[in-house]
Amino acid sequence: MTSSDAKPVLSGGEPSATTIEQRGIEHIPHGERWGKPSGLFWMWAGAVWNVEFVVYGAIAVVFFGLNFAQAVVVILIGNLFYVLTGLASLQGPEAGTTVFAISRAPFGPRGNKLPSFFNWVTQVGFEIEGIALIVFAAILLSQKAGLTPGTPAKIIFVILAVLIQAVLPLLGHAAVLKVLRLLAIPFVVLFAVMAALTVSKVNLHVPAHGASWGALTIFLALVISAGGLGWTENGNDYSRYLPRNADKKRIVLAVALGGAIPSALLEILGAAVATGVPTATTVPGLLAGYAGWFLWPFAIFAIFQLFAINTLDLYSSGVTLQSIIPQLKRLHCVAIDTVVCGAIAAYAVFSSHFFTLLSDFLLFIILWLGPWCAIFLIDSYLRRNRYDHDALLDERGGRYFRNGGFHWPAIIAQVVGMVAAAFWLNAYSPYVGYFAARNGGPIGSDFSVFIGLIVGGVVYYLLAARKVLAEGRDTPVPAQ
Protein backbone atom coordinates (compact mmCIF):
# COMPACT_ATOMS: atom_id res chain seq x y z
CA MET A 1 0.00 0.00 0.00
CA THR A 2 2.11 2.89 -1.19
CA SER A 3 1.25 6.52 -0.64
CA SER A 4 0.67 6.92 -4.36
CA ASP A 5 -2.24 4.49 -4.13
CA ALA A 6 -4.24 6.71 -1.78
CA LYS A 7 -6.50 9.62 -2.65
CA PRO A 8 -5.84 12.68 -0.51
CA VAL A 9 -8.57 13.55 1.95
CA LEU A 10 -8.45 17.10 3.25
CA SER A 11 -8.19 17.52 7.01
CA GLY A 12 -11.67 17.59 8.54
CA GLY A 13 -13.30 15.72 5.63
CA GLU A 14 -14.25 12.25 6.86
CA PRO A 15 -14.24 9.62 4.09
CA SER A 16 -17.33 7.57 3.36
CA ALA A 17 -17.71 4.34 5.32
CA THR A 18 -17.77 2.50 1.98
CA THR A 19 -14.45 3.97 0.84
CA ILE A 20 -11.70 1.36 1.03
CA GLU A 21 -8.74 2.65 3.02
CA GLN A 22 -5.62 2.46 0.87
CA ARG A 23 -3.00 2.99 3.56
CA GLY A 24 -1.34 0.38 5.73
CA ILE A 25 1.34 1.33 8.24
CA GLU A 26 2.87 4.11 6.13
CA HIS A 27 2.83 7.73 7.28
CA ILE A 28 -0.46 9.64 7.01
CA PRO A 29 0.24 13.09 5.51
CA HIS A 30 -1.24 16.04 7.35
CA GLY A 31 -3.66 16.78 4.51
CA GLU A 32 -5.35 13.41 5.10
CA ARG A 33 -5.81 13.80 8.86
CA TRP A 34 -9.60 14.04 9.14
CA GLY A 35 -10.10 12.53 12.63
CA LYS A 36 -11.39 14.24 15.80
CA PRO A 37 -10.96 13.20 19.46
CA SER A 38 -14.74 12.87 19.90
CA GLY A 39 -14.76 10.20 17.20
CA LEU A 40 -12.45 8.07 19.33
CA PHE A 41 -14.86 8.29 22.27
CA TRP A 42 -17.76 6.84 20.27
CA MET A 43 -15.59 4.25 18.55
CA TRP A 44 -14.34 2.84 21.87
CA ALA A 45 -17.79 3.05 23.43
CA GLY A 46 -19.33 1.20 20.47
CA ALA A 47 -16.78 -1.61 20.79
CA VAL A 48 -16.75 -1.99 24.57
CA TRP A 49 -20.54 -2.13 25.11
CA ASN A 50 -20.13 -5.87 25.02
CA VAL A 51 -21.60 -8.88 26.79
CA GLU A 52 -18.10 -10.11 27.64
CA PHE A 53 -17.75 -7.34 30.22
CA VAL A 54 -21.00 -8.37 31.92
CA VAL A 55 -19.52 -11.84 32.35
CA TYR A 56 -16.28 -10.35 33.79
CA GLY A 57 -18.32 -8.66 36.50
CA ALA A 58 -20.19 -11.87 37.31
CA ILE A 59 -16.89 -13.72 37.69
CA ALA A 60 -15.96 -11.39 40.57
CA VAL A 61 -18.85 -12.65 42.68
CA VAL A 62 -19.11 -16.28 41.58
CA PHE A 63 -15.47 -17.34 41.07
CA PHE A 64 -13.53 -14.96 43.31
CA GLY A 65 -16.07 -14.69 46.11
CA LEU A 66 -16.19 -10.89 46.23
CA ASN A 67 -19.29 -9.33 47.73
CA PHE A 68 -21.05 -6.68 45.65
CA ALA A 69 -19.39 -3.73 47.40
CA GLN A 70 -15.92 -5.21 46.93
CA ALA A 71 -16.64 -5.92 43.27
CA VAL A 72 -17.77 -2.33 42.64
CA VAL A 73 -14.66 -0.86 44.30
CA VAL A 74 -12.27 -3.11 42.34
CA ILE A 75 -14.14 -2.47 39.07
CA LEU A 76 -13.95 1.30 39.53
CA ILE A 77 -10.23 1.17 40.40
CA GLY A 78 -9.41 -1.22 37.57
CA ASN A 79 -11.14 0.88 34.94
CA LEU A 80 -9.04 3.92 35.86
CA PHE A 81 -6.32 2.16 33.87
CA TYR A 82 -8.07 3.17 30.65
CA VAL A 83 -5.93 6.28 31.11
CA LEU A 84 -3.10 4.06 29.82
CA THR A 85 -5.05 3.49 26.59
CA GLY A 86 -5.52 7.25 26.32
CA LEU A 87 -1.82 7.93 26.86
CA ALA A 88 -0.99 5.19 24.34
CA SER A 89 -3.09 7.06 21.74
CA LEU A 90 -1.01 10.26 21.77
CA GLN A 91 1.81 8.99 19.57
CA GLY A 92 -0.32 8.30 16.46
CA PRO A 93 -1.10 11.96 15.68
CA GLU A 94 2.59 12.84 16.10
CA ALA A 95 4.08 9.92 14.15
CA GLY A 96 1.20 9.44 11.71
CA THR A 97 1.47 5.65 11.80
CA THR A 98 0.35 2.59 13.74
CA VAL A 99 1.29 1.30 17.20
CA PHE A 100 3.82 -1.32 16.19
CA ALA A 101 5.44 0.91 13.61
CA ILE A 102 5.95 3.50 16.38
CA SER A 103 7.18 0.71 18.68
CA ARG A 104 10.24 0.48 16.41
CA ALA A 105 11.54 3.67 18.06
CA PRO A 106 12.22 1.99 21.43
CA PHE A 107 12.92 -1.54 20.13
CA GLY A 108 14.50 -1.00 16.72
CA PRO A 109 12.96 -2.30 13.47
CA ARG A 110 14.27 -5.84 14.00
CA GLY A 111 14.01 -5.97 17.79
CA ASN A 112 10.39 -4.85 17.45
CA LYS A 113 9.40 -7.99 15.58
CA LEU A 114 9.11 -10.02 18.80
CA PRO A 115 6.61 -7.75 20.64
CA SER A 116 4.82 -7.31 17.31
CA PHE A 117 4.47 -11.07 17.04
CA PHE A 118 3.22 -11.25 20.65
CA ASN A 119 0.59 -8.66 19.78
CA TRP A 120 -0.48 -10.38 16.58
CA VAL A 121 -0.99 -13.66 18.47
CA THR A 122 -2.90 -11.82 21.21
CA GLN A 123 -5.21 -10.04 18.76
CA VAL A 124 -5.87 -13.23 16.80
CA GLY A 125 -6.59 -15.08 20.06
CA PHE A 126 -9.31 -12.57 20.94
CA GLU A 127 -10.68 -12.76 17.39
CA ILE A 128 -10.95 -16.55 17.64
CA GLU A 129 -12.74 -16.28 20.96
CA GLY A 130 -15.20 -13.78 19.49
CA ILE A 131 -15.91 -15.88 16.39
CA ALA A 132 -16.50 -18.99 18.51
CA LEU A 133 -18.94 -17.09 20.76
CA ILE A 134 -20.76 -15.73 17.69
CA VAL A 135 -21.17 -19.25 16.31
CA PHE A 136 -22.38 -20.58 19.66
CA ALA A 137 -24.94 -17.76 19.81
CA ALA A 138 -26.13 -18.65 16.29
CA ILE A 139 -26.44 -22.31 17.33
CA LEU A 140 -28.44 -21.29 20.41
CA LEU A 141 -30.84 -19.20 18.31
CA SER A 142 -31.24 -22.07 15.83
CA GLN A 143 -32.13 -24.45 18.65
CA LYS A 144 -34.67 -21.99 20.06
CA ALA A 145 -36.21 -21.82 16.57
CA GLY A 146 -36.68 -25.58 16.62
CA LEU A 147 -33.68 -26.48 14.48
CA THR A 148 -30.77 -28.73 15.46
CA PRO A 149 -27.65 -27.61 13.57
CA GLY A 150 -25.49 -30.52 12.49
CA THR A 151 -21.85 -30.49 11.46
CA PRO A 152 -22.45 -28.91 7.99
CA ALA A 153 -24.55 -26.11 9.52
CA LYS A 154 -21.92 -25.36 12.16
CA ILE A 155 -19.21 -25.17 9.51
CA ILE A 156 -21.39 -22.79 7.49
CA PHE A 157 -21.89 -20.63 10.61
CA VAL A 158 -18.11 -20.42 11.06
CA ILE A 159 -17.50 -19.51 7.41
CA LEU A 160 -20.22 -16.84 7.45
CA ALA A 161 -18.93 -15.40 10.73
CA VAL A 162 -15.33 -15.00 9.54
CA LEU A 163 -16.44 -13.53 6.20
CA ILE A 164 -18.74 -10.99 7.88
CA GLN A 165 -16.01 -10.13 10.40
CA ALA A 166 -13.59 -9.33 7.57
CA VAL A 167 -15.75 -6.62 5.96
CA LEU A 168 -15.10 -3.61 8.21
CA PRO A 169 -11.35 -4.20 8.67
CA LEU A 170 -11.03 -4.60 4.90
CA LEU A 171 -12.86 -1.30 4.30
CA GLY A 172 -10.56 0.27 6.86
CA HIS A 173 -10.29 3.04 9.41
CA ALA A 174 -13.21 5.29 8.42
CA ALA A 175 -15.66 2.38 8.20
CA VAL A 176 -14.58 1.06 11.62
CA LEU A 177 -15.05 4.44 13.34
CA LYS A 178 -18.35 5.27 11.67
CA VAL A 179 -20.05 1.89 12.19
CA LEU A 180 -18.93 1.53 15.82
CA ARG A 181 -20.13 5.06 16.52
CA LEU A 182 -23.58 4.12 15.18
CA LEU A 183 -23.68 0.86 17.14
CA ALA A 184 -22.99 2.61 20.46
CA ILE A 185 -26.57 3.91 20.73
CA PRO A 186 -28.51 0.60 20.40
CA PHE A 187 -25.96 -1.05 22.69
CA VAL A 188 -26.70 1.59 25.37
CA VAL A 189 -30.43 0.92 24.96
CA LEU A 190 -29.86 -2.82 25.46
CA PHE A 191 -27.85 -2.09 28.60
CA ALA A 192 -30.68 0.06 29.98
CA VAL A 193 -33.25 -2.69 29.34
CA MET A 194 -30.99 -5.31 30.86
CA ALA A 195 -30.32 -3.13 33.91
CA ALA A 196 -34.06 -2.62 34.45
CA LEU A 197 -34.70 -6.38 34.23
CA THR A 198 -31.84 -7.02 36.66
CA VAL A 199 -33.29 -5.02 39.55
CA SER A 200 -35.60 -7.83 40.66
CA LYS A 201 -32.74 -10.37 40.64
CA VAL A 202 -30.18 -8.50 42.72
CA ASN A 203 -29.59 -9.98 46.16
CA LEU A 204 -27.50 -7.56 48.17
CA HIS A 205 -28.23 -9.45 51.39
CA VAL A 206 -25.55 -12.06 50.75
CA PRO A 207 -22.96 -12.40 53.55
CA ALA A 208 -20.79 -9.28 53.69
CA HIS A 209 -17.49 -10.94 54.68
CA GLY A 210 -16.32 -10.93 51.05
CA ALA A 211 -13.11 -12.35 49.64
CA SER A 212 -9.47 -12.24 50.77
CA TRP A 213 -7.17 -9.43 49.66
CA GLY A 214 -5.44 -11.93 47.38
CA ALA A 215 -8.68 -12.60 45.50
CA LEU A 216 -9.19 -8.85 45.15
CA THR A 217 -5.79 -8.51 43.45
CA ILE A 218 -6.49 -11.38 41.04
CA PHE A 219 -9.79 -9.86 39.96
CA LEU A 220 -8.15 -6.44 39.69
CA ALA A 221 -5.53 -7.92 37.36
CA LEU A 222 -8.33 -9.38 35.22
CA VAL A 223 -10.16 -6.04 35.01
CA ILE A 224 -6.96 -4.15 34.09
CA SER A 225 -5.76 -6.67 31.51
CA ALA A 226 -9.19 -7.04 29.88
CA GLY A 227 -9.65 -3.26 29.87
CA GLY A 228 -7.27 -0.32 30.02
CA LEU A 229 -3.96 -2.15 29.75
CA GLY A 230 -5.37 -4.69 27.30
CA TRP A 231 -6.19 -2.00 24.72
CA THR A 232 -2.92 -0.01 24.84
CA GLU A 233 -1.53 -2.00 21.93
CA ASN A 234 -4.45 -0.83 19.74
CA GLY A 235 -4.70 2.89 20.59
CA ASN A 236 -2.57 4.60 17.93
CA ASP A 237 -3.99 2.44 15.14
CA TYR A 238 -7.13 4.61 15.46
CA SER A 239 -5.68 7.98 16.56
CA ARG A 240 -3.17 8.27 13.68
CA TYR A 241 -5.72 10.07 11.48
CA LEU A 242 -5.92 12.95 13.97
CA PRO A 243 -3.92 16.09 13.09
CA ARG A 244 -0.77 16.78 15.09
CA ASN A 245 -2.36 19.85 16.68
CA ALA A 246 -5.31 17.88 18.09
CA ASP A 247 -5.76 18.62 21.79
CA LYS A 248 -3.84 15.99 23.76
CA LYS A 249 -6.02 16.22 26.87
CA ARG A 250 -9.13 15.70 24.76
CA ILE A 251 -7.57 12.63 23.11
CA VAL A 252 -6.73 11.04 26.48
CA LEU A 253 -10.18 11.86 27.93
CA ALA A 254 -12.06 10.68 24.83
CA VAL A 255 -10.27 7.33 24.72
CA ALA A 256 -10.21 6.76 28.49
CA LEU A 257 -13.88 7.63 29.05
CA GLY A 258 -15.04 5.87 25.88
CA GLY A 259 -13.56 2.64 27.25
CA ALA A 260 -13.98 3.08 31.00
CA ILE A 261 -17.64 4.14 31.18
CA PRO A 262 -19.13 1.12 29.37
CA SER A 263 -16.61 -1.28 30.94
CA ALA A 264 -17.41 -0.15 34.49
CA LEU A 265 -21.19 -0.07 33.97
CA LEU A 266 -21.31 -3.50 32.34
CA GLU A 267 -19.03 -5.11 34.93
CA ILE A 268 -21.05 -3.64 37.81
CA LEU A 269 -24.21 -4.93 36.12
CA GLY A 270 -22.63 -8.38 35.85
CA ALA A 271 -21.68 -8.36 39.53
CA ALA A 272 -25.23 -7.33 40.45
CA VAL A 273 -26.75 -10.11 38.32
CA ALA A 274 -24.41 -12.70 39.86
CA THR A 275 -25.65 -11.93 43.39
CA GLY A 276 -28.96 -13.50 42.37
CA VAL A 277 -28.03 -15.63 39.33
CA PRO A 278 -24.90 -17.71 40.10
CA THR A 279 -24.84 -19.15 36.55
CA ALA A 280 -24.16 -15.70 35.03
CA THR A 281 -20.50 -16.49 34.31
CA THR A 282 -21.40 -17.73 30.81
CA VAL A 283 -23.68 -16.18 28.20
CA PRO A 284 -26.24 -19.07 28.35
CA GLY A 285 -26.08 -18.96 32.15
CA LEU A 286 -26.60 -15.22 32.08
CA LEU A 287 -29.66 -15.60 29.85
CA ALA A 288 -31.07 -18.25 32.20
CA GLY A 289 -31.72 -15.47 34.69
CA TYR A 290 -34.05 -13.58 32.36
CA ALA A 291 -37.46 -14.15 30.81
CA GLY A 292 -37.57 -16.23 27.63
CA TRP A 293 -38.67 -13.32 25.44
CA PHE A 294 -35.39 -11.52 26.22
CA LEU A 295 -33.25 -14.28 24.69
CA TRP A 296 -33.81 -13.35 21.05
CA PRO A 297 -33.01 -9.61 21.21
CA PHE A 298 -30.15 -10.24 23.65
CA ALA A 299 -28.52 -12.98 21.54
CA ILE A 300 -28.88 -10.96 18.33
CA PHE A 301 -27.38 -7.89 19.95
CA ALA A 302 -24.63 -10.04 21.49
CA ILE A 303 -23.66 -11.21 17.99
CA PHE A 304 -23.43 -7.61 16.75
CA GLN A 305 -21.44 -6.64 19.85
CA LEU A 306 -18.96 -9.47 19.33
CA PHE A 307 -18.51 -8.49 15.69
CA ALA A 308 -17.90 -4.90 16.83
CA ILE A 309 -15.16 -5.72 19.31
CA ASN A 310 -13.62 -8.26 16.91
CA THR A 311 -13.39 -5.51 14.30
CA LEU A 312 -10.86 -3.61 16.44
CA ASP A 313 -8.82 -6.76 17.00
CA LEU A 314 -8.78 -7.76 13.32
CA TYR A 315 -7.88 -4.27 12.06
CA SER A 316 -5.05 -3.99 14.59
CA SER A 317 -3.78 -7.51 13.99
CA GLY A 318 -3.58 -6.67 10.27
CA VAL A 319 -1.45 -3.54 10.67
CA THR A 320 0.65 -5.36 13.29
CA LEU A 321 1.33 -8.11 10.77
CA GLN A 322 2.40 -5.44 8.29
CA SER A 323 4.94 -4.13 10.82
CA ILE A 324 6.44 -7.64 10.91
CA ILE A 325 6.24 -8.25 7.15
CA PRO A 326 5.99 -4.82 5.44
CA GLN A 327 5.50 -6.36 1.99
CA LEU A 328 2.00 -7.54 2.95
CA LYS A 329 -1.03 -5.51 1.83
CA ARG A 330 -4.15 -5.10 3.96
CA LEU A 331 -6.01 -7.64 1.80
CA HIS A 332 -3.27 -10.20 2.51
CA CYS A 333 -3.40 -9.52 6.26
CA VAL A 334 -7.19 -9.78 6.45
CA ALA A 335 -7.06 -12.99 4.40
CA ILE A 336 -4.40 -14.54 6.66
CA ASP A 337 -6.31 -13.63 9.84
CA THR A 338 -9.59 -14.85 8.35
CA VAL A 339 -8.16 -18.26 7.46
CA VAL A 340 -6.44 -18.66 10.87
CA CYS A 341 -9.54 -17.55 12.78
CA GLY A 342 -11.84 -19.73 10.73
CA ALA A 343 -9.72 -22.86 11.14
CA ILE A 344 -9.19 -22.54 14.90
CA ALA A 345 -12.72 -21.28 15.59
CA ALA A 346 -14.04 -24.36 13.78
CA TYR A 347 -11.97 -26.45 16.16
CA ALA A 348 -13.49 -24.47 19.07
CA VAL A 349 -17.02 -25.27 17.96
CA PHE A 350 -16.34 -29.02 17.88
CA SER A 351 -14.00 -29.29 20.89
CA SER A 352 -14.98 -29.37 24.55
CA HIS A 353 -11.43 -28.42 25.60
CA PHE A 354 -10.81 -25.37 23.45
CA PHE A 355 -12.12 -22.71 25.84
CA THR A 356 -10.01 -24.07 28.68
CA LEU A 357 -6.90 -23.87 26.52
CA LEU A 358 -7.81 -20.44 25.17
CA SER A 359 -8.60 -18.95 28.57
CA ASP A 360 -5.29 -20.30 29.91
CA PHE A 361 -3.50 -18.70 26.96
CA LEU A 362 -5.19 -15.34 27.39
CA LEU A 363 -4.20 -15.18 31.06
CA PHE A 364 -0.57 -14.98 29.97
CA ILE A 365 -0.86 -11.91 27.72
CA ILE A 366 -0.24 -9.73 30.77
CA LEU A 367 3.36 -11.02 30.92
CA TRP A 368 4.44 -9.29 27.72
CA LEU A 369 1.89 -6.46 27.69
CA GLY A 370 2.77 -4.77 31.00
CA PRO A 371 6.51 -4.33 30.29
CA TRP A 372 5.89 -3.39 26.65
CA CYS A 373 3.35 -0.70 27.64
CA ALA A 374 5.74 0.84 30.18
CA ILE A 375 8.66 0.84 27.72
CA PHE A 376 6.49 2.33 24.97
CA LEU A 377 5.10 5.14 27.15
CA ILE A 378 8.42 6.01 28.84
CA ASP A 379 10.16 6.13 25.45
CA SER A 380 7.38 8.43 24.21
CA TYR A 381 7.78 10.68 27.26
CA LEU A 382 11.57 10.86 26.98
CA ARG A 383 11.50 11.84 23.31
CA ARG A 384 8.53 14.22 23.91
CA ASN A 385 6.53 12.38 21.24
CA ARG A 386 8.94 13.53 18.55
CA TYR A 387 9.29 10.86 15.88
CA ASP A 388 11.07 10.65 12.55
CA HIS A 389 8.29 9.03 10.52
CA ASP A 390 10.59 8.13 7.62
CA ALA A 391 13.02 6.38 9.98
CA LEU A 392 10.18 4.46 11.65
CA LEU A 393 9.44 2.79 8.31
CA ASP A 394 13.09 2.24 7.34
CA GLU A 395 13.88 -1.47 7.53
CA ARG A 396 17.63 -1.24 6.88
CA GLY A 397 18.84 2.06 8.26
CA GLY A 398 17.76 5.38 9.71
CA ARG A 399 17.65 6.93 13.14
CA TYR A 400 16.20 3.88 14.91
CA PHE A 401 18.29 1.16 13.28
CA ARG A 402 21.11 1.50 15.86
CA ASN A 403 22.85 -1.87 16.54
CA GLY A 404 21.82 -3.76 13.43
CA GLY A 405 18.14 -2.98 13.98
CA PHE A 406 18.07 -3.88 17.69
CA HIS A 407 17.79 -1.44 20.59
CA TRP A 408 19.05 -3.60 23.43
CA PRO A 409 17.87 -1.45 26.38
CA ALA A 410 14.24 -2.06 25.35
CA ILE A 411 14.79 -5.76 24.65
CA ILE A 412 16.53 -6.27 28.01
CA ALA A 413 13.81 -4.30 29.84
CA GLN A 414 11.10 -6.37 28.12
CA VAL A 415 12.68 -9.68 29.11
CA VAL A 416 13.46 -8.61 32.70
CA GLY A 417 9.93 -7.19 33.10
CA MET A 418 8.35 -10.40 31.83
CA VAL A 419 10.44 -12.58 34.16
CA ALA A 420 9.66 -10.34 37.14
CA ALA A 421 5.91 -10.35 36.35
CA ALA A 422 5.94 -14.15 36.08
CA PHE A 423 6.97 -14.42 39.73
CA TRP A 424 3.65 -12.85 40.81
CA LEU A 425 1.33 -14.06 38.05
CA ASN A 426 -1.64 -16.14 39.17
CA ALA A 427 -2.96 -18.01 36.13
CA TYR A 428 -4.48 -20.84 38.14
CA SER A 429 -4.37 -23.75 37.42
CA PRO A 430 -1.75 -24.05 34.66
CA TYR A 431 0.66 -21.63 36.31
CA VAL A 432 1.01 -19.84 39.66
CA GLY A 433 4.14 -17.77 40.28
CA TYR A 434 6.37 -18.17 43.34
CA PHE A 435 5.14 -15.04 45.16
CA ALA A 436 1.57 -15.42 43.89
CA ALA A 437 1.25 -18.82 45.60
CA ARG A 438 2.73 -17.66 48.93
CA ASN A 439 0.71 -14.48 49.51
CA GLY A 440 -2.97 -13.68 49.58
CA GLY A 441 -4.73 -16.62 51.20
CA PRO A 442 -5.90 -19.96 49.80
CA ILE A 443 -6.07 -18.87 46.15
CA GLY A 444 -2.98 -16.65 46.27
CA SER A 445 -2.65 -13.18 44.77
CA ASP A 446 -1.61 -11.42 41.56
CA PHE A 447 0.54 -8.30 41.26
CA SER A 448 1.92 -9.17 37.81
CA VAL A 449 0.33 -6.12 36.19
CA PHE A 450 2.10 -3.68 38.46
CA ILE A 451 5.41 -5.56 38.56
CA GLY A 452 5.54 -5.81 34.76
CA LEU A 453 4.80 -2.11 34.35
CA ILE A 454 7.21 -0.95 37.07
CA VAL A 455 10.16 -3.26 36.39
CA GLY A 456 9.97 -2.96 32.60
CA GLY A 457 9.65 0.82 32.78
CA VAL A 458 12.37 1.39 35.38
CA VAL A 459 14.90 -0.87 33.63
CA TYR A 460 14.30 0.86 30.30
CA TYR A 461 14.61 4.32 31.86
CA LEU A 462 17.90 3.45 33.56
CA LEU A 463 19.38 1.90 30.42
CA ALA A 464 18.10 4.29 27.75
CA ALA A 465 17.08 7.67 29.22
CA ARG A 466 20.14 9.70 28.25
CA LYS A 467 20.32 8.35 24.70
CA VAL A 468 16.58 8.66 24.01
CA LEU A 469 16.46 12.22 25.41
CA ALA A 470 19.22 13.20 23.00
CA GLU A 471 17.54 11.35 20.15
CA GLY A 472 14.33 13.24 20.80
CA ARG A 473 16.10 16.61 20.88
CA ASP A 474 17.79 15.83 17.56
CA THR A 475 14.53 14.81 15.86
CA PRO A 476 13.11 17.71 13.81
CA VAL A 477 9.52 18.74 14.53
CA PRO A 478 7.46 18.28 11.34
CA ALA A 479 5.42 21.17 10.00
CA GLN A 480 1.72 21.22 10.91
Q: What would the pLDDT profile of 360-372 be if each residue is shown by its tens digit? A: 676 688 899 999 9
Percent residues over pLDDT 70 in the chain: 92
Q: Is the pLDDT of residue 12 over 60?
A: no
Query: Among 186-195, 222-231, 314-323, 433-442, where is mean pLDDT lowest?
Result: 186-195
Q: 387 near 95, Cβ under 8 Å? A: yes
Pair 376, 115: CB distance under 8 Å:
no
**How far from the centroid of its chain's Cα atoms is residue 167's Cα?**
19
Report the chain's mean pLDDT, rounded to a whole number.
86
Can you give the length of the chain in residues? Answer: 480
The three-state secondary structure class of 432 is: strand
Q: What is the dihedral of CA 438, 441, 444, 449, to 10 degrees?
A: -100
Residue 83 pLDDT more than 80?
yes
What tens digit of pLDDT does each residue of 259-302 get?
Answer: 999 999 999 999 998 888 888 777 777 777 777 788 888 888 88
Angle at the Cα of 260 from the Cα atoms of 17 and 64, rounded to 5 degrees = 125
Give Cα separations from 320 to 333, 355, 478 (angstroms): 9, 25, 25
Q: Distance between CA atoms of 324 and 337, rounded to whole angstroms?
A: 14
For the segment 29-45, the average pLDDT, to the nearest whole number, is: 87
pTM of the model: 0.89
Strands, E assignment, 51-183: none
Q: Please state the three-class secondary structure of 356-401 as a single string.
A: HHHHHHHHCHHHHHHHHHHHHHHHHHHCCCCCCHHHHCCCCCCCCC
Task: Of 376, 463, 458, give the one whose Cα is nearest residue 420.
Answer: 458
Predicted confidence band of residue 255 (pLDDT cuts 50, 70, 90) = very high
> Which DSSP state fits 403?
B
Q: Is 22 helix (H, G, I), strand (E, B) or coil?
A: coil
CA 22 to chain CA centroid, Å, is 24
Q: How confident is the model at residue 10 (pLDDT cuts 50, 70, 90)?
A: very low
Indicate whether 138 pLDDT > 90: no
Please tell me the distance from the alpha carbon of residue 357 to that of residue 134, in angstroms, as a whole number: 18
Print the SS3 string covering 89-103.
CCHHHHHCCCHHHHC
Task: Decide: 157 and 135 in contact? Cβ < 8 Å.
Answer: yes
b/e per residue 399-431 (b: at least 16 CB within 10 A)? bbbbeebbbebbbebbebbbebbbebbbbeeee
- In this predicted structure, what is the pLDDT of residue 207? 60
Q: In degrees to the nearest 10, what's the CA dihedral of 39, 43, 48, 50? A: 130
Architecture of 3-355 per CATH? Orthogonal Bundle (1.10)
At residue 132, the 3 state secondary structure works out as helix
Ranked by mean pLDDT, the top range of 151-165, 167-181, 199-213 is: 151-165
Phi then psi for 63, rounded to 5 degrees? -85, -40
Looking at the DSSP bridge assignments, the partners of residue 427 are 431
Which one is predicted more confidently, 372 or 444? 372
Looking at the predicted structure, is the pLDDT value of residue 308 above 60?
yes
The rounded distance, in Å, linking the Cα atoms of 85 and 95 is 17
Report residue 337's pLDDT band, with 50, 70 and 90 as the boundaries: confident
